[in-house]
Amino acid sequence: MMEIFIKNLLYASIVGSIEIMSIIVLKTTLLKRYTCAFNYYIWLAVIFKMITPFKIPIYIPEKISYIFQHSPNNVKTIIESGISLSESMKIKNNANIITANYPIENYFIILFYIWLIVSIILLSYHIISYIIFNNKIKHFIYDVPDSEIRNIYSKLLVEMNIKRKISLKLCWGISTPLGIGIFNSHILIPCVSYDNQELKYILKHELMHYKRHDMIYKILLLITVTVYWFNPLVYIMYKIVSNDCELSCDEAVLKKSNMKERKLYASTLINSLRLNKNNVIKQNLITGFNNNKNILKRRLENMLNLKIKQKGVIWGILITVIVVCSFISVNVLAEATKNNSTSAIENTKTQQQKITSDNYSDALQEYIKDNPTKFDKDNPTKILDDFMKENNLDHLTVDFTAPVNTD
């Protein structure tokens, strides 16, 4: 079981690495013409594929299997292959003996426990650090006393059609706006001076993260990193996705905005960075308005770019279909075929028992009387071979011990 798990994990890691490198290359060429949202959500195909390495079995009707001439790989039909039951059992026993002698299984067990221990440590670290951060700042969170700020926030909730309860709070322990909480969500704003228009853009940006369920996206991404901690390309993907998250959020906020509004949004970002005092919060399970300064130039370029980009709907549908198909394992009547094979073996056993029972001699005697020319006294087993072939029992082995009466 552990060996199968590690093999599937390594296979999924290799496939995921190829997909990550392919998207990175495409982002420098083809994907530039598409929206930031498309570049952001395309990573979900890789994430879902990597965190679900198993496949869903689907069985198609027998008639369709005959049309496509498909034979399931996981079913070995002993009768059709012409291998006798005894021979197949010998092969199986020999294979088990050989496998048991191989020490490679021990290595897979060691690898499994190493992977499990490191994964648990990483997952525990992220969970504990989030709990500590949450407990630390909750002592500095207060209700917003300004009614004008509360009105702006309420209007944005209605404008963006957000019915989920997301509280707006002031926080003395931060210097940058951020969103926190998975179930009990809050938007925290620092105790700094923002004008109403700046505050509107900041709140709209944070609400957009919740509207698009970016927190769930971050959790899936964090699970991927935790599971594939040994793959360096996963960390590169994590960084790129985090950047794409902010770029696509800016794009969604500025949708249908003119150049004047875009410049005001850009100045809000710059002013927020100035007030941030270089206090970057290093926490994976939060969303921040200006938490990542490394992509400031790219964010400003995208804000002031009025060029219409393609949405990539067709590509999105195609990628979705490919990902869904990759989770499906077509087994053409695997269970039915297996049952048929088992039934055929049982029938073979029954036939063998019938031939070797007391009425075996009577059946053979009748056959000899009906075919006297086939009986050879020098080679009495020959007629037995013919008898078995005509009864579709040529793959069995039956000792010729019955007395033969040729009178």
Please provide the DSSP assignment of 222-259 as one string.
HHHHHHTTT-HHHHHHHHHHHHHHHHHHHHHHTTT--H
CA distance 272 to 249: 16
358 against 273, higher pLDDT: 273
Please name every residue paired with 189 in a beta bridge, in sequence order, or none if there are none. 170
User: Are the C-beta atoms of residues 177 and 187 closer than 8 Å to each other?
Assistant: yes
Kindly report, residue by residue over 118-140, the tens digit of the pLDDT. 999 999 999 999 888 888 888 88
Q: Residue 11 has which token pair?
A: 């296979």
- Average pLDDT of span 33-60: 84
Kindly report, residue by residue over 60-104, the tens digit of the pLDDT. 665 565 555 544 444 333 333 333 444 444 444 444 444 444 456
Work out the number of other CB atoms within 10 angstroms of the CB of residue 337: 20
Q: How confident is the model at residue 227 (pLDDT cuts 50, 70, 90)?
A: very high
Q: Which of 51-65, 328-342, 351-365 has the highest mean pLDDT?
A: 51-65
User: Are the C-beta atoms of residues 188 and 138 closer than 8 Å to each other?
Assistant: no
* pLDDT value for 174: 80
Q: Using CA atoms in the order 108, 112, 115, 120, what is the torsion angle rounded to 10 degrees?
A: -170
Q: How confident is the model at residue 217 (pLDDT cuts 50, 70, 90)?
A: very high
Q: Which of 143-157, 266-280, 287-301, 332-346 has the highest mean pLDDT?
A: 143-157
Kindly report, residue by residue over 305-341, the tens digit of the pLDDT. 888 888 888 888 888 888 777 766 655 554 444 455 5
* pLDDT value for 230: 95
- Average pLDDT of span 276-304: 74
CA distance 160 to 98: 65
Q: How confident is the model at residue 292 (pLDDT cuts 50, 70, 90)?
A: low
* pLDDT value for 323: 75
- Average pLDDT of span 227-252: 94
What does pLDDT average to over the chain?
A: 77
The DSSP call for residue 311 is -
Q: Which of 39-43, 69-73, 188-192, 371-375 has the highest mean pLDDT?
A: 39-43
Q: Residue 222 has which token pair?
A: 């964090």
